[in-house]
Amino acid sequence: MANFRRFRPDDLNKLSKCNLDPFTETYDLGFYLQYYAKWPSLFQVAEDQHGNIIGYIMGKLESSPDVYRFSEHYLPWHAHITAVTVAPGARRLGIGKLLTEQLELAADAGDAWFVDLFVRVSNHKAITFYKNMGYSVFRVVKDYYGEHSTDPTLSSEDAYDMRKPMKKDVKREHVREDGEKHEVDPSDVW
C-alpha cells in the first residue's frame, strides 16, 4: 500500500488526503519548496498505490545563528522535525514512525548531534509516540503556542522541546533526564 520516497514538488498536487484533514496545516508554496531546496533528504513522503500522498515529514539541518554561540541556549548542528503528518485513512500502520526513522537516517548522514521537535504539552498521544521512539523532553518552552488546543479559556500553551541523540552524540551530551524541569522563554528558542 505504501511507498516511501523523497518528496517531489509534483506531490503538492496530491496532498489532499493529508491536508484536508483539519489537523494538518497547509503552508505557502515557498515553505514546502524551501525545505525541498535546502534539505531534500529530510523531506520524505509515503504514497499509496494511486500516487496519493498519505504521509510526509519535513525536516531541516541547522545550528543556532553564530551570534548565539556563547549562549546557554545555543543549539549545535542538529536536525529538526518541522512537520509530520499521516492521512486519517493511513493511520495505525506505523507510517509516522517510519517517516521519522527515515529522517533520523538522513540526520545521521548529515552528521547531526540530535533530532529535535516541538510538541504541545497537552498532546499526550504524540509525546508517547516520540518517547517510544527514543525521544525525551529536553526543556519546556513556556507559552510557545499562541492558543491552547483544548482549553479555550487559556491564551497560550507550553511546548516540550523533545530530543533524540544521534550516532554522533556517543556520550549523550545533548539530552537530559530531567528536561521537564528546565523551563525557557520562547525568546530563547531560535
Partner 1 sequence: MSSYRYGRPALKSSVDVQLQTAFSDGNWSTVIRLATKRAAALKDPYYEAIKMCAESQLDGTAEKCGVVVAIDDLVKSKKTPDIETIELYEWACRDFFDYEVEYADTLGPLRVRWAKANPGSPLALQCLQSCLEKWDLVSAQQIATSLDKAYANTADRRYMFWNITLTFLLSISPQCTGASRKVYSLLAARQLERAADLTENSAKLEATDRGLLTEEEICLYYRVLLSHGTKDEFISRFKSHKLGAISQLKEGRKLLLCEGLDALETWAEWELIYNLCREALTLGLEGATSPFFVCNLQIWRKFASAASKVADSDSALGEVQAILKRYIELKDKASAMYKKNLSLALLETTFRLPATPLNPSNYTPGLSPRVVQLGLFLDQYFERLSAFDDVKDYVAELSFEEIKTLMEDILPKLLDENADKPRKTVLHALQYKLRYLLSTCPQTLSPQPSAANGEAQKPYQCLKTLIADASKSYRKINGDKDILDSIPRLDKDPRLDLALVMGTSLLKLSGLRPRTPDAGHSLWQDVDPELFLQAVLLLDTQLRETPGNTELRLLLVQLYLLLGCASYAYQLWTPLDVKRTIQDSLSPLFFDRISSLSPGLFQGTRPLMEPLRSFYSHNLCDRSPVRIWDAFAAGSYTSILDMTEYDGNLRKSCTVVMTLVEERRATRCYGGKIDVEIEEHALAENINDDTILVNKTDYGPFPNLESIHGPPIHEYLRLGPGLSNERSHLAFLSEQYMDLLHYKPPKDYKPSKASEVALRDREHTLETLSRLSNSLTGFLHQPATPTRLTAPETTYYTVLSLLSAALLIALSSPRSDPVPQTLSLLSKSIKSALASLRTSFFALAQQGTAAAANQQTQTHKTSTLPSACLHLTELPHLAAIRDTALAVRHSAAFVLAFHDKELARDRSGRSGLHREAMAEMKALSELAGRALAEVKGCVHRLKEALAEAGWLDRLLGLVFAEEGEDEGELGKVVEEVVGGRAAAEEWAGRVVESWREGVKGWGMVRME
In the complex, the residues that contact partner 1 under the rule CB under 8 A are 1-6, 8-10, 12-17, 19-22, 26-30, 32-34, 36-41, 46, 48-52, 88-95, 97-98, 105, 109
Q: What b/e sequence results for 112-134 when a residue is b if at least 16 CB atoms lie within 10 Å of its CB, and e otherwise?
A: bbbbbbebbbbbeebbebbeeee
CB of 95 to partner 1, least distance (A): 6
Torsion of CA 138, 143, 144, 148, to 10 degrees: 110
Cα separation, 166 vs 149, in Å, equals 31
- When the beta carbons of 88 and 185 are compared against partner 1, the nearer one is 88
- When the beta carbons of 26 and 71 are compared against partner 1, the nearer one is 26
- When the beta carbons of 95 and 117 are compared against partner 1, the nearer one is 95
CB of 36 to partner 1, least distance (A): 5
Cα separation, 162 vs 140, in Å, equals 9
CB of 13 to partner 1, least distance (A): 4
